[in-house]
Structure 1
Amino acid sequence: MYSPRPRFKFNTIGLFTSNNKATVDFYTKAFGFTTSWDGEQPNVEMFLGDNRIILFPRDAFEQMVSQKFQYPEGFNGTMELSLNVPTFADVDKEYLNALNNGAKSVLPPTTEPWGQRTCYVADPDGNLIEIGSFVE
């Protein structure tokens, strides 16, 4: 059966930041993202294996597009980054690691009725990050 070539390949999540340095520090220390960012350019590329996120300062983005935006205060409930870990024990371990590296707790590790152990933390800009596993 012929399968047409997809129109798009999803490859990146972009986050608008209030402080690139704080966000880079958080994602590298808490989750092991890597970057070759020079600390000065507004655009930051960060990698975790084959996954990529980009960071761009909110004020620089507004200047670039000549528009003002409203950003959520506190926790940002409009999207999440979801990180899968091997086991339930890893959920607990990575939750504590994230908190020790500056994350704010949103939901402590919880085993849900559908069989997933999950937790939520927030990065320095309030973006939600889920850490979960389906393997006990």
Structure 2
Amino acid sequence: MEIDCIGLFVNNMETMVEFYRDVIGLKTNWNGEPNADFEAGKCRLIMFGRNDFENMVSKQFNYPKGLNGTAEIAFTLKTFDEVDTEYKRLINLGVENVFPPTTMPWGQRTCYVADPEGNLLEIGSFGA
């Protein structure tokens, strides 16, 4: 099997689409429908409104609130310098800091920020 996409169930589609499109820089053709589809390399990122999803499947779910460590979305860059530059760019745009760029013992330079709904985003590189 091959992963086709990663999905987020979101409270506020407009805010989340704007964040991933305008701040992170993923491409989408979203025009207000209940789901959004983003180009993210070999895998797509999709979003679906929580209320719309629950109505579609006729079930209610419990969702994490605030910063949550349920999962992460990991972005990779070519160099350590690119990790530092991207981290600074995001922090300057007001994105929530979780963990500043750090070179890990296994050879990766990584950092974490959070999207507007508290999902963790890792930005890292294995290339010096």
Could you say whether these structures have the same fold, taking a TM-score greater than 0.5 normalized by the shorter chain as the test?
yes
The aligned runs of 1:15-54 (5 Å cut-off) are 15-38=8-31, 40-54=32-46
CA RMSD of aligned residues (A): 1.3
Give 1:110 deviation, angstroms.
Answer: 0.8
DSSP 3-state at the match of 2:19: helix
DSSP 3-state at the match of 1:91: helix
Counterpart of 1:108? Answer: 100
CA distance 1:134–1:118, shift in 2 (3 Å): same
Counterpart of 1:4? Answer: none
- Does residue 69 (structure 1) correspond to residue 86 (structure 2)? The answer is no
DSSP 3-state at the match of 2:69: strand
Candidates 85, 88, 98, aligned match of 1:93: 85
Structure 2 distance, partners of 1:121, 1:109, is 10
Give 1:122 deviation, angstroms.
Answer: 0.7
- Does residue 127 (structure 1) correspond to residue 114 (structure 2)? The answer is no
Paired residues of 2:3 and 2:43 also in contact (CA < 8 A): no
1:68-117 deviation digits (Å, cap 9, x = unpaired):
11111111211111111011111111112222344211101111111111
Paired residues of 1:92 and 1:109 also in contact (CA < 8 A): yes
After alignment, is 100-109 or 73-82 more displaced? 100-109
Structure 2 distance, partners of 1:101, 1:16, is 24
TM-score, normalisation: structure 1: 0.87
- Matched residue type, 1:78: T
The aligned runs of 1:2-21 (5 Å cut-off) are 8-21=1-14
Give 1:29 deviation, angstroms.
Answer: 2.0
Computing the radius of gyration from Cα coordinates, the structure with the larger value is: 1
Paired residues of 1:20 and 1:57 also in contact (CA < 8 A): yes
TM-score, normalisation: structure 2: 0.92
DSSP 3-state at the match of 2:91: helix
User: Identical aligned pairs, as a percentage?
Assistant: 50
- Matched residue type, 1:94: E
Gaps of 5+ in 1: 1-7
Paired residues of 1:77 and 1:128 also in contact (CA < 8 A): yes
